[in-house]
């Protein structure tokens, strides 16, 4: 059964990869080494993960010990979305990654997020960053370049100036989050899709379907999700500390989900949220930032645990207030252009913030009333 995807430039890419988010320190290095020993050949990291050194150490130790050859690995990283980006910044980012990872080249380097800001400057930022990536391809420091979390309008703008088309777009993709329109756009453009969140949580509303399908094939729910991803044309990135789970995640090439069962899994996309009602937008975790950048706000947001709303966030005319178990805990107050002050218990000043975008709270705006998933 096919275990490789051919990229637009002819490079073979294994269908399943290993993600390294939150894998840091010596323990992180050992986990990554175990993943390579178990057979993972796609290793994905990012500057924002703050573990490129550990990832590089694991890779070089495995090479030194004769476990794997460098050319057998496909190593990817991403420019830090929290720092300024542009042509010079892109070149510095690649050089920094190579130095930290102690590698001569990176197989894939990506723009981590499309750098959404409150005006159209993201278009030039992405274009200039891409030019920097293309320069590093010319120098042989990068083999392929791609993007992560790019929606259709981001890709359309980038393709207007790009000399090298992105080979990959990493997206949050799983049976409950299918992003159908941007997926179709990428497939039409020949851009391969990697799924950075291929597994889904078992809930009351999806438990029976997932359990029934898994039982039918004598596989785990995790294996069913990964197999679904591959059959949809998405390359899943898995992450686990467990060697047994690594072994399990790799055992997805000895069966195929039948069309009727694929349809059952496809239908999970519409419940409990219709994720494709606004497919050309960013995801839950960036929803608030997007609303702020478009001068929207929310009426309230909360974290709920054991049925209790223990942390509530709500706006007031000059900023944001936070209540912990109903008690005023934190206040973020605007004190100037792009400048905010933090107050503990609403009156003890603890810090000041400088941000690159403005909060603009207005009246009669759409309500954001979703409990956070933690």
Whose CA is closest to 113, among 288, 285, 301? 285
Its pTM surpasses 0.85: no
The DSSP code for 76 is E
Helices and strands of the chain, counted as H and E runs: 11, 17
Percentage, residues of the chain above pLDDT 70: 77
Instruction: Using the structure block, give the residue that is written with the tokens 């990654």.
Output: 97
d(C-alpha 317, C-alpha 110), whole Å: 39
pLDDT, tens only, 202-259: 888 899 999 999 999 999 999 999 999 999 999 999 999 999 999 999 999 999 999 9
- Residue partners of 67: CB distance under 8 A and separation at least 6: 36, 37
Higher pLDDT, 302 or 18: 18
Nearest to 243 by CA among 29, 26, 21, 34: 34
Q: Measuring CA to CA, which residue among 54, 64, 144 is closest to residue 101? A: 54
Residue 312 clears pLDDT 60, i.e. is over it: yes
φ, ψ for residue 252, nearest 5 deg: -130, 15
Q: Residue 343 catalytic?
A: no
CB 193 within 8 A of CB 171: yes
β-bridge mates for residue 140, sequence order: none
Do 36 and 68 touch, CB atoms closer than 8 A?
Answer: yes
Catalytic residue among 49, 109, 340, 343: 49
Average pLDDT of span 341-355: 67
- Burial zone of 61 (CB within 10 Å; 0-12 exposed, 13-18 middle, 19+ buried): middle
8 Å CB contact between 122 and 114: yes
- pLDDT exceeds 70 at position 286: no
When pLDDT is cut at 50, 70 and 90, the band that residue 63 belongs to is: very high
Please tell me the distance from the alpha carbon of residue 122 to that of residue 334, in angstroms, as a whole number: 25
For residue 12, what pLDDT band results from cuts at 50, 70 and 90? confident
Which of 278, 287, 279, 270 is closest to 370 using CA atoms? Answer: 287
What pLDDT does 277 receive? 37
d(CA 239, CA 315): 36
- pLDDT score for 371: 29
Question: What distance in Å separates the CA atoms of residue 371 and residue 329, rounded to the nearest whole number?
Answer: 19
Task: List C-alpha distances in Å: 178 to 184, 200, 221, 275, 287.
Answer: 10, 12, 17, 7, 17
- 334/99: higher pLDDT: 99
How many Å is the maximal CA-CA distance in the chain?
64
What's the confidence (pLDDT) of residue 351?
63
Write down the mean pLDDT value for the chain: 83
| Segment among 93-97, 103-107, 148-152, 222-226 with least mean pLDDT | 148-152
**Least confident stretch, 214-218, 336-340, 347-351:** 336-340
Question: pLDDT tens across 159-168, in order?
Answer: 999 999 999 9
Instruction: Write down the H helix ranges in 294-373.
Output: none
- Return the pLDDT at 342: 77
């Amino acid at each position: 059964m096919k275990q490789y995807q051919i990229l637009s430039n002819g490079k073979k890419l294994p269908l399943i990869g290993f993600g390294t988010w939150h894998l840091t320190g010596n323990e992180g290095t050992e986990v990554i080494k175990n993943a390579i020993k178990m057979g993972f050949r796609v290793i994905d990291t990012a500057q924002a993960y703050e573990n490129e050194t550990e990832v590089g150490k694991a890779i070089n130790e495995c090479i030194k010990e004769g476990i794997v050859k460098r050319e057998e690995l496909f190593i990817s990283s991403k420019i830090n979305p929290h720092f300024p980006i542009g042509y010079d910044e892109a070149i510095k980012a690649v050089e920094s990654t190579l130095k930290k990872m102690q590698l001569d080249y990176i197989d894939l380097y990506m723009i981590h997020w499309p750098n959404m800001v409150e005006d159209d400057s993201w278009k030039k930022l992405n274009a200039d960053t891409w030019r920097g990536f293309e320069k590093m391809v010319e120098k042989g420091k990068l083999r392929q370049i791609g993007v992560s979390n790019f929606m259709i309008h981001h890709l359309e703008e980038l393709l207007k100036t790009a000399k090298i088309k992105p080979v990959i777009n990493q997206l949050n993709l799983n049976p409950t989050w299918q992003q159908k329109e941007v997926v179709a756009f990428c497939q039409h453009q020949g851009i391969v899709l990697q799924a950075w969140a291929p597994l889904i949580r078992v809930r009351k509303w999806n438990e029976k379907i997932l359990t029934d399908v898994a039982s039918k094939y004598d596989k785990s729910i995790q294996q069913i999700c990964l197999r679904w991803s591959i059959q949809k044309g998405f390359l899943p990135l898995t992450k686990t500390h467990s060697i047994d789970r690594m072994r399990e995640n790799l055992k997805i090439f000895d069966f195929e989900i039948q069309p009727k069962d694929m349809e059952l899994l496809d239908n999970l996309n519409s419940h409990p949220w219709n994720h494709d009602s606004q497919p050309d937008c960013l995801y839950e975790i960036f929803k608030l930032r997007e609303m702020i950048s478009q001068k929207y706000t929310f009426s309230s947001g909360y974290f709920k645990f054991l049925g209790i709303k223990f942390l509530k966030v709500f706006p007031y005319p000059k900023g944001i207030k936070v209540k912990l178990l109903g008690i005023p805990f934190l206040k973020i107050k605007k004190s100037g252009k792009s400048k905010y002050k933090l107050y503990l218990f609403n009156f003890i000043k603890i810090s000041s913030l400088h941000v690159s975008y403005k909060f603009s709270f207005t009246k009669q705006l759409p309500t954001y009333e979703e409990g956070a998933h933690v």
